[in-house]
Amino acid sequence: MKVLLFGATGMVGQGVLRECLLDPDVDLVQTVGRTSTGTQHAKLREVVLGDMSSYAAIESQLSGFDACFFCLGISSVGMDEADYARITFDITMAAAETLSRLSAGLTFIYVSGAGTDSTERGRVTWARIKGRTENALLRLPFKAAYMFRPGIIQPLHGIRSKTAAYRTFDSDAAMDRGRRADQLVPRRSRFIERRGESRQFRHRQPGDVSGCGRRRERNVLRPREIKERVRDERRVE
């Protein structure tokens, strides 16, 4: 099997690249991106392309593939609709339309996101644009097309996300900062060690006032505090 991979330097793309290189059924993995992955492997071939909105210069290298994983994408945080649409819709469709013409027998796999709006009429900008992209991809004459809608993704095997929000939930990064990732969100029932004392915090039923007045455990962050930490990390970067 010959695989084409877009977005191989991102968090999801790195994971896809790793699995493809390990899979004995995959004979060739060709990446297309603005920069090299920095990975050396006998099955890997890299194509560096500065302008990801035009593929005319590399069309001769885009035929004969069995599958394409399109993992290229960006967070919508801080972006206006036009810029987000240019990256999410325009670049994706430029690649997909080229591939549908050059490799008609291709299976196209697009990494979308949970909450995508297939109606294209919702109020959430990113979800509406993702929905428009999915719908346009499904209309192309591929052998098959699959839209994956993951929610929160936890990277493994040392893979790190470029997005600050994801690094907050990255277990490796959390350990580097001296805290466990499972301390970010409190569970319904858990034991917490504090000053040598084991104390159980449990979900209270209506009318149960036991334990009221106790201070909230310091190493449990509320959603608002998580957002504040993410914002602070962005300022540092």
- Residue extents of the structural domains in the chain: 2-148, 164-200+213-236
Instruction: Tell me if 186 sits within 8 A of 201, measured CB to CB.
Output: yes
pLDDT in tens, 128-172: 999 999 999 999 999 999 999 988 777 677 666 565 555 555 545
216: Cβ–Cβ under 8 A, 6 or more apart, which residues?
none
Tell me yes or no: is domain 2-148 CATH 3.30.505.50.
Answer: no
The amino acid occupying position 95 is A
Confidence band of 210 (pLDDT split at 50, 70, 90):
very low
pLDDT band at 56 (very low <50, low <70, confident <90, very high): very high
Average of pLDDT values for 28-50?
A: 94
Please give the torsion angle defined by the CA atoms of residues 179, 181, 183 and 185, in that order, rounded to the nearest 10 degrees.
Answer: 150
Q: What SS3 class is residue 185?
A: coil
Q: Whats the size of the chain, residue-wise?
A: 237
Residues 96, 13: Cα–Cα separation, whole Å: 17
| Range 59-94 burial, b when 16+ CB lie within 10 A, else e | eebbeebbbbbbbbbbebeebeeeebbebbbebbbb
